[in-house]
Amino acid sequence: MSSERVYRTAHSVEVAAPAGVAYGLISNAVQWPLFLPPNVHVERLDFDGQNERLRMWATANGEVRSWISRRVQDPQARRIDFRQQHPQAPVATMNGTWTVEERPGGTSVLTLLHDFTVTGDRAEDAAWVERAIDTNSVAELDHVKRLAERWPRLDELVLSFEDAVRVKGPSELVYDFLYRVSDWPELVPHVARLELTEDTPGVQVMAMDTRTADGSTHTTESVRVCFPQAGRIVYKQTTTPALMDAHTGEWSVLPDESGVTVISQHSVVLCEEAIESVLGEGADLAQARRYVREALGRNSTATLNLAKRHAESAIRVL
């Protein structure tokens, strides 16, 4: 048997919303990148209604980490148990539990428990993992609370849409243009500056200055996870413009018999408190939805058309 010490942590938050609402937010892990700050992307690999296997990417102490997690959902007890498979060093094992306890008056208490070991039982590694768990758990619980307490109007705060362009050219060239994001300042007019690191192949961390329609610029930071064989690039903005609480998206390159469809998809949680400061006194949620839709759609469509031109020009040259 292993002699490694088991470390345990517990975090909880009171939620002014029914237990079923809080449980619904934690049960759908595919939505976590949009709803919970540390999570970058989640792929559901298997799910039979109770047992679930997920591939997850998340930030931890400023690093992007990835693992496969097995979860067992119990909606009657409002409990989810999870266990990481093949965790990244220094983590040797990582297990935990989400619980939602119903309280009188339609409120609830959300609790997140972890137990973990580290390879070699080094104190500095245990401290690193514990710091990551503390930071991420507090952020996750706070955002579940924030979203659950806004549940009656959450549909108004969440905005999802996509834009698509047809390309008569190779899908590989379209994907190449979208992947080589470090070249965008020279190729994409609305990109003023871009800094990129890719320490792990296919996981890109970037900071970008984007020019807006009025000539000003804003800075965003993002993590992108690239799937070249599937023609997909998913991303999460880790630093967003003031009008957005969260922003995730995906570039998809879909070849067929007559060409390629390239799609840009966005999902946003609007920051209700920032609407008037950004759009002016008296501006409302409907105006914010239109503004964000137009601004993001304009930039992504411009990028799609540039990818189209890149692929179709190469064909003409050949």
CB-count exposure of residue 222 (10 Å: 0-12, 13-18, 19+): buried
Check residue 1 and give its pLDDT: 42
CA–CA dist 194, 214 (Å, integer): 20
Check residue 253 and give its pLDDT: 98
Check residue 137 and give its pLDDT: 98
Token pair listed for 244: 């957005």
Check residue 318 and give its pLDDT: 43
Token pair listed for 185: 């300042």
Check residue 317 and give its pLDDT: 45
Asked whether the CA dihedral 109, 38, 41, 290 is positive or negative, the reply is positive
Check residue 315 and give its pLDDT: 64
By three-state DSSP, how is residue 318 classified?
Answer: coil
CA atoms within 13 A on the CB side of 156: 10
CA–CA dist 235, 249 (Å, integer): 5
Check residue 72 and give its pLDDT: 98
Give, for all 318 residues of the chain, the pLDDT tens digit: 456 899 999 999 999 999 999 999 999 999 999 999 999 999 999 999 999 999 999 999 999 999 999 999 999 999 999 999 989 999 999 999 999 999 999 999 999 999 999 999 999 999 999 999 999 999 999 999 999 999 999 999 999 999 999 999 999 999 999 999 999 999 999 999 999 999 999 999 999 998 877 777 889 999 999 999 999 999 999 999 999 999 999 999 999 998 999 999 999 999 999 999 999 999 999 999 999 999 999 999 999 999 999 999 876 544
CA–CA dist 17, 19 (Å, integer): 7
Q: Quote the distance between the C-alpha of residue 66 and its chain's center.
A: 13
- Phi and psi angles of residue 31, each rounded to the nearest 5 degrees, phi first: -85, -10
CB-count exposure of residue 48 (10 Å: 0-12, 13-18, 19+): exposed
Check residue 24 and give its pLDDT: 97
CA–CA dist 110, 294 (Å, integer): 37
Check residue 2 and give its pLDDT: 54
CA–CA dist 222, 151 (Å, integer): 27
- Phi and psi angles of residue 90, each rounded to the nearest 5 degrees, phi first: -85, 5
Tokens 């998913």 belong to which residue?
234
Closest CA to 137 of 10, 303, 308, 6: 10
In angstroms, what CA-CA distances link 127 with 8, 37, 116, 283?
12, 21, 11, 46
What's 217's DSSP letter? E
**For the chain, how are helix, strand and coil distributed in percent, rounded to 5?**
35, 45, 20
